[in-house]
A = this chain, B = another copy of it.
Amino acid sequence: MYDDDPDVLYETLSDRQKAILDFIERFIEADGFPPTIREIGEACDIASTSVVNYNLNKLREGGWLERTAEKSRGIRLLRPRHAGQPATREVGLRLSNALNVVRIPKIGRIVASAPVMLPGSDFGEYYDPEVDVIEISRDMLRGVDVNEVYALEVQGESMIDALIDDGDIVILRKQQTCRDGELVAVWLPERGETTLKAFYDEGTRIRLQPRNPGMAPIYVHPNNCQIQGKVLGVMRMV
């Protein structure tokens, strides 16, 4: 009776229901909270809120989502729409593969002073013109949580031997620890700057090693060295 292949199940939905499901997923990923009935209606060209409500209940009956009655934005997505994904019902994992492309914020330049403090972004669908956003394929992250990823533009040639040049975009994952030799962005409170270096814990001090034979390492006290993220990748357009 029931085919358990998510792809097949997904195809049994009406175009409208697919559009609703897709929109909800994109909306949650973009805004961090679920849309209202009317927001869904506008996005999917549905004139009446009752029709959105009707289709949401259909999707609920089909197990695609949950609703909290009489609460605004009370929608939770329950399972992926395409095959090859875990049919988990856990909260928090439901955003994967909304699109195969993720946007990560480029929050400043490294080795330039502190990363730029960004103004509040209450603009809804509009991008803050001062903030670069770079798009990469989700596959490139190889499972790393998108929300932990950000990007920096490299300034200087201190990591030239690690094949990271001035102007390159480095993609980082937020983390507070690392192993010796890994490339990390570190915040140095004493200097008021963030820098990209190879990290070595020498017990009483931290050695931050440039990957450039002409440059000397920086030594800092562990209390004055806060790891901000580890380098996941590099991008360069010549």
Contact = CB atoms under 8 A, between A and B. Distances in A.
Interface of A: 1-5, 26-27, 29-34, 36, 60, 63, 66-69, 71-76, 83-96, 98-105, 107-108, 114-118, 120-122, 124-128, 131, 133-137, 139-140, 142, 146, 150, 160, 163-165, 168, 171, 174, 176, 183, 185, 187, 189-190, 192, 226-229, 231-238
B31 A133 contact: no
A187 to B, nearest CB: 6
B228 A232 contact: no
Contacts of A227: 84
A212 B142 CA distance: 30
A139 to B, nearest CB: 8
A41 B86 CA distance: 37
Majority secondary structure, A binding face: loop
A189 B1 contact: yes
A193 to B, nearest CB: 12
A33 B75 contact: yes
B137 A134 contact: yes
Given A73-B72, A127-B94, A1 B192 contact: yes
A122 B4 CA distance: 26
B66 A88 contact: no
Contacts of A164: 163
Contacts of A5: 226
Contact of A92 (B29, B36, B150, B234): B29
